[in-house]
C-alpha cells in the first residue's frame, strides 16, 4: 500500500455512490480500491491494505442493509463517522439513444426498487438486477451496448461518457443513503460523541428486550434504529444492532454498564457525531 495517498475501500467502481462519498469525505486526492462485495471491502481494511472503507448501511426508503452490520461485526471494524448522501437516480445510455429504443435497464436491485414508479410507464423495458449502479454504466460504455440503459449517478454518466435520458427518476425525491466510514483501529473522537452504534446480545430471559428498551429510555437514549439477527451458534438467542442518539454521555456510559451487568453483552461499533440534520 502506497502511503502517500489514502487508500479507501469501496464496493463498486469509479462513478458509484460509494466513490462519491469517498471523495466528498476524504477529498479528491485519494486512491480508491474498488471491490465486488462488501465482504472484500471489510477484509481489505482488516488486512490494512486500505486505510478506511465506505459502506452503505441504510436507505431512507429501502431501510437497513442488514448483512453489512454482520460484516462489520465479524471483521471487528470500527465506525469513525457517518455520511448522508442525497441519492439521485438517472437513466443513462450510449449517446444518441432514445428512451423508446431502450429494451433493458440494469442496475443494483435497490436502485431498481427506488425507481419502480418511473418504469411502470414503460412496460416494454425489462428490468434486471446487477451488482452495482456504476458498473452497468461502465459495461455499456466499454462494450458500446445499444438498447441497454443503466440507473446511476450523474457522476457515472460523466465518468463513462453516457447520455442522461431521464434525471431524478427515483419515486421519492427526498431519498438519502446513510454511509459509514470504517477503520481497523478504535477511533478517538476529538469531541464528545452524540451517537453510538452497538451490538447487544441479550441473555435468554423473559422480557429481556422490554427491560433493555426501558433502561435505555430511562437514560435519555433515543433509538434511531434497532435490527435483530439470530445468534448463529445459540438457538433462540438474538443480537440487536442498535443506533442511539446520546443526550448525556455520562448517562449513556451508565446505561452500557447496567446492560452488561444484568441484560446482555455489549459490543460498541462506534461512537461518533450524528450527521443527520
Q: Where are the domains of the chain?
A: 6-87+176-183, 90-166, 195-269
Q: Which CATH class is domain 195-269?
A: alpha beta
Average pLDDT rounded to a whole number, residues 88-100: 96
pLDDT at 59: 84
pLDDT at 230: 84
At 216-256, the pLDDT tens digits run 999 999 999 999 988 888 877 889 999 999 999 999 999 99
Task: State percent of the chain over pLDDT 70.
Answer: 99
CATH topology (fold) of 90-166: D-Maltodextrin-Binding Protein; domain 2 (3.40.190)
pLDDT at 231: 84
More confident residue, 206 or 54: 54
Residue corresponding to grid cell 502517500: 4
Angle between helices 38-46 and 66-74 (to 10 degrees): 20
CATH topology (fold) of 6-87+176-183: D-Maltodextrin-Binding Protein; domain 2 (3.40.190)
Report the alpha-carbon distance of residue 154 to residue 148 in Å, rounded: 17
Please spell the DSSP secondary structure of 21-73, one letter per residue. Answer: HHHHHH-SSEEEEEESSHHHHHHHHHTTSSSEEEEEEEETTTEE-HHHHHHHH
Average pLDDT, the chain: 93
The answer to whether residue 3 scores a pLDDT higher than 70 is no
Least confident of 65-69, 122-126, 129-133, 233-237: 233-237
The answer to whether residue 166 scores a pLDDT higher than 70 is yes
Q: 6-87+176-183 and 90-166 share one CATH topology?
A: yes
Average pLDDT rounded to a whole number, residues 22-48: 96
Report the alpha-carbon distance of residue 272 to residue 198 in Å, rounded: 12
Q: What are phi and psi of 181, to 5 degrees?
A: -105, 125
What cell numbers appear for 240 in the block?
440487536
Which DSSP symbol is given to 168? -
Amino acid at each position: 500500500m502506497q502511503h502517500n495517498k489514502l487508500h479507501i475501500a469501496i464496493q463498486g467502481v469509479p462513478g458509484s455512490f460509494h466513490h462519491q462519498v469517498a471523495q466528498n469525505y476524504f477529498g479528491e486526492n485519494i486512491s480508491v480500491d474498488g471491490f465486488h462485495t462488501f465482504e472484500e471491502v471489510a477484509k481489505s481494511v482488516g488486512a490494512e491494505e486500505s486505510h478506511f472503507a465506505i459502506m452503505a448501511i441504510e436507505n431512507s426508503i429501502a431501510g437497513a442493509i442488514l448483512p453489512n452490520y454482520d460484516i462489520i461485526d465479524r471483521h471487528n471494524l470500527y465506525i469513525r463517522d457517518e455520511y448522508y448522501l442525497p441519492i439521485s437516480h438517472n437513466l443513462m445510455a450510449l449517446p444518441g439513444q432514445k428512451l423508446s429504443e431502450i429494451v433493458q435497464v440494469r442496475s443494483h436491485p435497490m436502485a431498481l426498487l427506488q425507481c419502480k414508479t418511473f418504469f411502470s410507464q414503460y412496460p416494454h423495458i425489462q428490468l434486471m438486477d446487477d451488482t452495482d449502479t456504476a458498473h452497468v454504466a461502465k459495461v455499456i460504455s466499454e462494450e458500446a451496448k445499444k438498447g441497454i440503459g443503466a440507473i446511476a449517478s450523474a457522476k457515472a454518466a460523466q465518468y463513462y461518457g453516457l447520455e442522461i435520458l431521464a434525471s431524478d427518476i427515483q419515486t421519492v425525491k427526498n431519498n438519502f443513503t446513510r454511509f459509514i466510514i470504517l477503520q481497523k483501529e478504535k477511533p478517538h473522537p476529538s469531541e464528545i460523541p452524540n451517537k453510538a452504534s452497538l451490538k447487544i446480545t441479550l441473555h435468554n430471559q423473559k422480557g429481556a428486550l422490554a427491560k433493555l428498551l426501558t433502561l435505555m429510555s430511562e437514560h435519555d437514549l433515543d433509538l434511531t434504529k434497532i435490527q435483530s439477527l439470530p445468534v448463529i451458534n445459540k438457538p433462540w438467542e438474538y443480537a440487536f444492532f442498535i443506533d442511539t442518539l446520546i443526550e448525556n454521555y455520562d448517562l449513556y456510559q451508565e446505561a452500557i454498564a447496567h446492560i452488561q451487568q444484568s441484560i446482555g453483552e455489549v459490543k460498541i461499533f462506534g461512537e461518533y457525531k450524528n450527521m443527520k440534520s
